[in-house]
Amino acid sequence: MSAPEISFEFSAPRDDAARDKVLTVRDKLSTLDPEFFSVTYGAGGSTRDGTLQTVLALAESGTSTAPHLSFGGDDDGFIRELLSQYQSAGIRRIVALRGDVPSGTGPGSHIYADELVTFIRQETGDHFHIEVAAYPEVHPDSTSPNSDLAYFKQKVDAGADSAITQYFYNADAYFHYVDTVTALGVDIPIVPGIMPITNVDTLLRFSDKCGADIPRWISQHLMQYRDDKASLQSFTTDLVTSLCARLLEGGAPGLHFYTLNQSLPTLRIFRQLST
């Protein structure tokens, strides 16, 4: 069995100071020998300039980088130009997402991620390794679990090479999801998305928006420790480390960390995983 692949996600910085911080965090996390770093795109490409500049800065320093990309409100020509820039910079991986259209703007001619995967393949052939999103606990906009599974298979059939899941804290949800899509004929690697916990209110807000379930026993502990930084750090590090260990022991092909542009929470988890 091959060694699990580790990757890290950055939120696209909106100014030079934030971009410098991302590069500093990259240096610290690079000690863990990740497969790649990804950089988010924002609703409708709302952080597209920060994404592009950060991706190019990472690539110039030899870091394997995967920009997130979505159609959002952009037309084919704009996305085609971005793909050309990424190719010229030596980028070989794209995270293709549906994304969100910014409020007050109308969608372009394309919306869904399977359309983006098809477009990338038509424009660039096999140049890019294409990652897509997977939702073990069902996408919040899906009408049913079955429709969500069917749509995931559409993305795979369109040409996706692998998938990264929404974060979760119930390993059984991941294993059930992998078993279910495998039965549907999906055979690409599905990498669990991991969210270290640093702020209770932020986690609850994110989870409510994206449909990630926080088991009651976890939420009760989080509320108990929300004003006790040391206890919160100890509990959440142990919690996420145990989740990672179980996922890897159960055969997950790797781990993708949503870093929120911080290094310490992830480094703590890795220190515990290695002991």
Query: Looking at the annotation, which residues are catalytic?
Result: 9
Asked if 37 and 58 touch (Cβ cutoff 8 Å), the reply is: yes
Asked if 203 and 195 touch (Cβ cutoff 8 Å), the reply is: yes
In three-state secondary structure terms, 51 is helix
DSSP letter for each residue of 151-219: HHHHHHHHT--EEEEEE-S-HHHHHHHHHHHHHTT--S-EEEEE-----HHHHHHHHHHHT----HHHH
* Distance between CA atoms of residues 177 and 183, nearest Å: 10
